[in-house]
Amino acid sequence: MIVMKQVVKVRLLPTPAQASALLVTLHICNQAAIWLSKQMHRDQVWHKRDAQKHWYRTLRDRFGISAQPTIRVIGKVADAYATLRANLRARNYGPKGSERRRMVEAKPIVFRLDAAQPFDARCLSWQLPELGREGTVSIWTATGRLRSLRVLGSPAYLTLLRTSTIGETDLVYRDGQWLLHATIDVPQAPLQEPAGFLGIDLGIVNIATTSDGHRASGSRLNRYRKRQQRIRKRLQSKKTSSARRLLKKRRRKEARFAADLNHQISKNIVAEAQRTGRGIAVEELTGIRARVRLRKPQRATLHTWSFAQLGQYLADKAERAGIAFVQVDPAYTSQTCSQSECNYVDKNNRRSQASFVCGRCGFVGHADHNAARNIATRGGACWGEVMRPHAAPTLAASWGTAAANLSVGPKRGDRQRAVPAATGA
C-alpha cells in the first residue's frame, strides 16, 4: 500500500501553569538551536550526523535538555541549513557574488525564541477517545513531563490521528494559541490512467479557469484584499498602542481568507476531475515575480496573489485522490488559438484581458478559457512523454521540446507563428 504524508492540526488547551512550562521549553530549545547554528556555520558542518558527533554532549550539558529533545534540536538546525543550501543552489538569493547572496552566506541562521519545536513519539504520546472532539497528550518539557494535557480538534482529524501512524509533531505557539501539527501516514489512492486532462488557467481577475469553461472569479478576494489594505493603512497612520494591538490581531486574517478560498476552489476542481476520470494540468509559474515587471500600483496585487498555494492544494488533493497531475510551460498559452486545426500564435489574438479573437480562423472566446484549453492539450502531451518507456524530460519542461519546433512564417520580423498540435503518446 502506497502512503503519503498529511499534516493534521489540533489545538492545545493548557492551564496557565502548563502554558508557562511549554513556553520555557520553546525558549530553551531555540536558544540551543541558535547556539548550535553558530557553531555549524563557523565550522562549516552541515549534516545532522556530523553535528551530533561534535556537539551532542555539549548541548546536553550547556542547556540541560534530555537526550531525545537534543537530537530533535540538532535535526531542526540541520534541516534549516539543508533548506538554505537548496535555495542557494537554486539561486533564490541571486547568483554567486551578488550582494544579497553574500549577506545570506555570511551569517548563521537565527531562530525565534518561540519558534516551533519538533517532537517524536518518545517525547510526545497521544491518548485519544473513540468519540468526541477532545483528547489528551503527554509531552516532555524542560520542567518535567506534562500529562493529561487537553487537545481539541475536529472528530475527523482525531479519527485520522487515532487510526494512522503518527510521525513528527511540531509544537507551535502562534498569536497566543498553542497548536500541535502532527504528520501522519495516510493511504494514497492508486493512480488512475487519465481519460484526458482538465486544464487550469490561473490568474488574478479569475483565480482559476477550467478548460470546461468554469471560472472562479477573483473579484470577491480582490475586494477583500483592498479593504484589508485600507484598514491596515488607517491603523498604521494612527501609531497608537491600541492600533498596533489591532494590527497584530488582524495580521493573518487576510491569509486565512485566501487559504480558505483556495481550498474551496481546489476541492471543486479535483472533484470535477475525479468525476470525469481526467487528470489535472496547470501552469508552471515558478519565478513569475522575478520575471514580470509591473507598474507600482499593480505590484501589491501580484505579490499577494497566492497562486503557488492554490497549485500546492491542487497537487496534494489530486495525489490523495489518485488523479494525474502535471505542470506545463505557460508560454504563449494566452496567445495561441485553442482550435486543434488552427493553433495560430499572435499576441494580437489577445484583444483584452477577457477577449480572444484568432486572427487566422476567427475563433472568438474568453481569453482565460482559451488558455485553459491550451493547457489541457499540453497536459496530454506531457503525460504521454512521462508515461512513455525510458522517458527523460520533466513535467514542467515537457512542452519545451514541442515549443522549440515552432514554424516561423516566411516574412522577416513577422510575429505570426503556427504551433503544431500537441498530441499524447
Domain containing 414 — which CATH number? 3.30.420
Predicted pLDDT of residue 421: 38
In this structure, the answer to whether residues 120 and 6 fall within a common structural domain is: yes
In this structure, the answer to whether residues 164 and 304 fall within a common structural domain is: no
Predicted pLDDT of residue 292: 61
The answer to whether residue 110 sits within a structural domain is yes
In this structure, the answer to whether residues 102 and 154 fall within a common structural domain is: yes
In this structure, the answer to whether residues 142 and 272 fall within a common structural domain is: no
In this structure, the answer to whether residues 209 and 142 fall within a common structural domain is: no
Identify the CA nearest to 288 among candidates 249, 316, 327. Answer: 327
Q: Residue 213 corresponds to which cell in the numbers above?
A: 469553461
Which residues of the chain carry a pLDDT beneath 70?
Answer: 1, 286-305, 386-425
The answer to whether residue 231 sits within a structural domain is no
Q: How many structural domains are present in the chain?
A: 2
Predicted pLDDT of residue 411: 36
Residue after which a domain boundary falls, among 166, 188, 210 = 188
The answer to whether residue 331 sits within a structural domain is yes
Determine the distance from the C-alpha atom of residue 28 to the mean position of all C-alpha atoms in its chain, rounded to a whole number.
30
Q: Output the CA torsion sign for 121, 127, 128, 132.
A: negative
The answer to whether residue 350 sits within a structural domain is yes
In this structure, the answer to whether residues 67 and 181 fall within a common structural domain is: yes
Predicted pLDDT of residue 118: 95
Predicted pLDDT of residue 389: 57
Whole-angstrom Cα distance, residue 181 to residue 116?
10
In this structure, the answer to whether residues 54 and 136 fall within a common structural domain is: yes
- The 10s digit of each residue's pLDDT in 173-230 is 998 899 999 999 888 888 888 999 999 998 888 889 999 999 998 888 888 888 988 9
The answer to whether residue 234 sits within a structural domain is no
Identify the CA nearest to 310 among candidates 182, 203, 194. Answer: 203
Predicted pLDDT of residue 343: 87
pTM of the model: 0.76
The answer to whether residue 402 sits within a structural domain is yes
The answer to whether residue 52 sits within a structural domain is yes
In this structure, the answer to whether residues 163 and 210 fall within a common structural domain is: no
In this structure, the answer to whether residues 15 and 123 fall within a common structural domain is: yes
Q: Which residues are bridge partners to 366 per DSSP?
A: 355
Predicted pLDDT of residue 298: 62
The answer to whether residue 341 sits within a structural domain is yes
In this structure, the answer to whether residues 292 and 331 fall within a common structural domain is: yes
Containing structural domain, residue 46: 1-188
In this structure, the answer to whether residues 254 and 383 fall within a common structural domain is: yes
Residue after which a domain boundary falls, among 168, 188, 208 = 188
In this structure, the answer to whether residues 269 and 320 fall within a common structural domain is: yes
- The 10s digit of each residue's pLDDT in 148-160 is 999 999 988 999 9
